[in-house]
Structure 1
């Protein structure tokens, strides 16, 4: 699904051209001007220059933890009262949240000292058309949000807590085109894999992992189904996994011990061709009450979409379709939630020093 630049009306581009007047206060440094080209072509006719991309214009706020030719994982950290630089996002995204920004900060100025808001108030890329995915039933977090490309903007956090979340940026809009191009885009999916034996249930597997996930850790997806779950990034708070279930493949029995945001850039085909066998059919952890976020409502986008999921009991997926199942998971080893206000300085001490990096 490609969006030629010519598809964007000339009147829009002319309006964007006037935006540079509002950006004069922030000009690119020599390092920003010398930045490498974008890792992929910007989505949907996005007209703003490379030096305004978030990871270059304000890399302190947007920390890149993982990047390949398909996807980029950013940790977004905007502490209270920080002077954030003007920046934008040229790709479609999914946000994963597990905390909120709290009440208004009494020290916040009435007018941000560096200004705030979009660079070009008339840009059509100010509207991300977001789809909102609620938390799993019975939980407050995590939540997810889908977003179209976002014009340069300068948010100011006037609240007591940091605005902290993870942002997955997809470097190509795949949607239904994935069904025709997956072998070209992901040639590794066609390579043969070594079969993995299913786990035999029994006391020899060891103790249960936790009260929230009462199964031995050997059922964890990256251990039990390594051909299907690839660990891309991990720290003490979360991990980022790529999921692939090839046509005709049945995964080993495996589970997911942590609350999760699932992010989808591809539409693999008829979901009725995917079957899901449960280890414990009566378990309350079989995906009930998941939250779902629709694709952005702008630019005729059908992707990305997102879902939220509580810890999930072991199950085995079978893909009866002609294209792989392919998506990404952000799994939270710790949900910050209501403890964020009291603990963010301990959990993220580097945020305290971000004002000195301006």
Structure 2
């Protein structure tokens, strides 16, 4: 019996050692997984739509300061210039702005998605939001981040001042429909030195989504809540340009730590990655939440296609860029960097698209 027990003990040790060695062999560094996604997207980057290529290139530049992303950033500048040229020339009266919004809302009418129907219902009584929030503010803020402005900047600012953005930012149905976008927009308004309704938005958001009611939210609405939280921090960092302080957003980080397992179980990969990046922006690289999000994101990568597919198994690069660029940032975080700006990186701004000028 003693001999059998000894053999069992030895075999058990050998099995455990073999399993551990096999697991270690299969363990791939997170940076290697990030590079796998980069190698999928970057050879095809300039086949993607300008907005998508610009989204990727700007984020990768702010991580690396690598000038190889200059062309993607120029595409983004050109997109911003085109938008602002159109807005300043064609959309300045209340009637034009209302009609623009109504036309944009038509795209939601036949969609069966919960988010689309919420957006249609919430916005049909205030269609100007489609111009002001979804259209104008993002382009003006991006130009501002580059150290630029539109040549008709004064005219565009007068348009903004015709509307009280608090109306949109504190409306519960608008928050349920456009919450992450509103988080961006209230910070953009502050960045531009216009209306400051950040605090009012945060108060309204917390009243709209009390933590005690999480279990009653639909899957889409729970994801929307977490998406809003991540975008409050992203917007405060001016999108990966500035570090943030945990204490300034303690209520958000406390919520993440308490609910991370539920977040990973019930939200999409882009939201999971955003939660992890929020911690990285606060310098909390070693927090257990970061480890959990990195593990989840790494294991969502399809090795054959070198990317994270959609929840329906789609591998389209254009529609998948958002979740995959976030995955790269989470798995291979390099810190925050300001730029590019016309003053800091003048070589990247030798040819500024028509309509934009230095601030």
Structure in which a larger fraction of residues adopt helix: 2
Name which one, 1 or 2, has greater alpha-carbon Rg: 2
Give your verdict on TM over 0.5.
no
TM-score (structure 1 length as normaliser): 0.27
Higher relative contact order, structure no. (Cα contacts within 8 Å, ≥ 6 residues apart): 2
